[in-house]
Structure 1
């Protein structure tokens, strides 16, 4: 078997791809309009006459960490986790800040540079998602439906801000396509890049390794085996870098524990702690609501794993299972709704159901579109709590 770089036709945009990009652009316009409204209707000071900078709605929470890493590095001056007010920035992988710093050379405004990274990455991701869907369900309608369900999902706003989700998917989904074509060097190189962006890249690497082992029954070709180790290189180098500066090989995990309570707990303990914070009236309503969302999406993830296992889609099942294990064994659930954006089999399965039942499509859109608007407004107005 020969391994070849994708030819020119692999990157050529056909009519179906242009429809996907038009859908993507249309939803971006919707989010930008929502951001404009949020800036005027929900300012930090309700009595103000000035809505603030036009890009302010996009600059919240994790964006500050990425920005500081891109501008200053991980340990500026003598700063580090030994300081009492340290921001635990080493909890974030370097991929996105490195790309942000590179794009900033061309786009001087940092916020606009971050939005540009996510905008271009999101376009690549939805094109790849549509192509993966067409291989599963066949037909251009299936690809368009999957992308629609994905782009109007509750946490889709994170694809439009300076966060890692869009960049990760822009690497992970083409990696999946390359693996399905048995182009293992390309698949593993893209996966390695994805692991530099998010720890989820290691879950993808495990899924692709599963796919490789299953494909051996047909190909009997072991030559690609060494490539499977490539995705471990970026996390290993990052751990080494952090060890040099902190003396701790697990500095990334330590920062997660300090800043986000990601200490190991059994799944039932994590569920119980999240449930208590969701319904025990120990949190303010905003935080309690987000804990409720965490619980719901965890159940969705478990159901997704069951469906994938029943359909014997083992690589995808491995990917989702590892994600659930990582997210479901902390003190409490954190950022599971955002992580669901990365479960691309979910959107393909939902699209398949909707193609068989128009009522399901209507129910999904009527239920999810308002949630997507609420979540977008929550983030863009600075009220996001999860």
Structure 2
């Protein structure tokens, strides 16, 4: 069963005469595209593999630089295809090193991508939809209307543009060992619900994991869902990445308000799906994300209920101090309250790290994406209106 929404993805087929973007095509689609422009079938698989390595392993965007391809074949590629990633409109760098990119995609729409540097690793938070339909009441990103799904190329393109900015593509002939990488992890925790755009997310992550390309381990990719229950098992089967769940409450009454998708698939249904998750094990725990809201979900009773609810699920609990935004209806729990909550969970045998807010000064923290940009533009429009422009 595939879960869909009343949104569209910009189709890959383009008007006659336009060149096809190779970024985001699966290996099979790339092979078929080459056959479509006259590449003999016997050679198409090998040619696709060569081009794949140039694009995803070496970061090359122009066909002329793909020097192990014949000159006339490079000319054919140039006539019919392009290698393009989304455009970076602006970049903000936080005092803690976090980088936030405002990214423009087809149709002039914009999403945000965030790179978070940490000791020994670097995590890229990428978006899967323009806007969001989930309307979680604590999340400012969720207040922005859903426009459309991102294509596979627009999703994996965020990884590529971040590697551009980090200057992380290997020099010709110089290996780039995984341990030296600045971008070592991906989290699908940006704008949108990934499981409402499953096929494009799957294809993009398959590209990111491909050993002849970007080559990230599936265990370095985490998909976060608010609880699209029918697609959870499919995530393990078709992507195989780590799973995180935006949980945030221990009763249906509270979760209905915080995460409205709970009205469709309640806590009991969600937990049943997580207990059956094929990848759930002590070595591959499910992450429960839990935003700490003062007086809403942060009591000792909530902590004890949470421990009871997740029994039997290999899990860790990420406690997230609420990242406030203008007009937010909630406040962040105090440090003492968060520590007390964490202690109860930890003493029950679960890891319960408190996530350190990152990039707050550039509105790049959880739940804040596109907030500052939208507010700035609204302000400009108001100024123009008042001036009669």
Q: TM (normalized to structure 2)?
A: 0.29
Q: Choose between structure 1 and 2: higher strand proportion.
A: 2
Based on CA coordinates, which of the two structures has the bigger radius of gyration? 2
Give the alignment's TM-score, normalised by structure 1: 0.29
